C-alpha cells in the first residue's frame, strides 16, 4: 500500500465514522497497519497498529488521535439535515470517482440519506438508480453494467449541482 492509498483509507474511515457508520476496531487497527506499511508517520500510529485483541476498545480513540495528528479529522455539519446532505455529496463523490460500487452507493443514499430528508427532488435520480439496481432482473433488457453507468452519471450530475458553499466539505 502506498502512502497516498493509506492516507485515503484513513480519511475514508474517518468520514464513515463521522457520519455515524459503525467501523470495527479490527478495521481501525488494520488501517493503522496499512498506514505503517505505507510509510505514513504519526506519533500515535504505531500504538494503534500494535493494539492487541484485548486492547481493541482503545482503537477508536487512538484512531481519532492519528487523524488529528495527520490533519485528516472530519466533522460533519452540526445541523442534522446539513450533515445528511454532506453525506450524500460524500457518497456521490465516491460513486463518481469509482471508489464505491454504484449499487452500494446509491443504496446508501436511498436508505441512509434520502429517507431522512423526505426524498428531496435533488436525490430522486440516485434513488431511482438504487431501486433499479436493487430490483434488476435479466428480463428487463438492460444490463446491470448499463444501470451502473447510469448511477455514475446520476452521481456526477448531482455533484455538478452542488452549491459552491458546500463544495469544499
pLDDT at 164: 58
Q: How far apart are CA 169 and CA 75, in angstroms?
A: 9
Q: Angle 76-80-81 (CA atoms, 0-180°, nearest 5)?
A: 105
For helices 25-37 and 3-18, give the axis angle rounded to 10 degrees.
160
Write out the DSSP string of 22-35. Answer: ---HHHHHHHHHHH
pTM: 0.82
The predicted-structure confidence for 47-89, as pLDDT tens digits, reads as follows: 999 999 999 999 999 999 999 999 999 999 999 999 999 999 9
pLDDT at 169: 46
Amino acid at each position: 500500500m502506498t502512502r497516498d492509498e493509506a492516507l485515503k483509507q484513513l480519511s475514508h474511515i474517518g468520514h464513515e465514522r463521522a457520519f455515524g457508520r459503525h467501523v470495527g476496531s479490527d478495521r481501525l487497527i488494520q488501517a493503522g497497519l496499512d498506514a505503517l506499511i505505507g510509510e505514513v508517520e504519526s506519533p500515535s500510529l504505531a500504538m494503534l497498529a500494535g493494539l492487541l485483541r484485548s486492547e481493541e476498545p482503545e482503537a477508536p480513540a487512538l484512531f481519532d488521535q492519528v487523524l488529528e495528528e495527520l490533519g485528516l479529522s472530519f466533522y460533519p455539519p452540526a445541523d442534522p439535515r446539513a450533515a445528511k446532505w454532506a453525506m450524500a455529496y460524500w457518497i456521490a463523490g465516491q460513486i463518481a470517482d469509482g471508489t464505491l460500487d454504484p449499487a452500494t452507493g446509491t443504496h446508501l443514499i436511498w436508505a441512509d440519506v434520502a429517507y431522512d430528508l423526505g426524498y428531496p427532488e435533488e436525490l430522486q435520480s440516485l434513488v431511482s438508480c438504487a431501486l433499479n439496481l436493487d430490483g434488476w432482473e435479466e428480463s428487463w433488457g438492460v444490463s446491470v453494467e448499463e444501470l451502473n453507468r447510469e448511477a455514475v452519471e446520476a452521481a456526477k450530475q448531482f455533484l455538478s449541482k452542488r452549491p459552491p458553499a458546500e463544495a469544499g466539505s
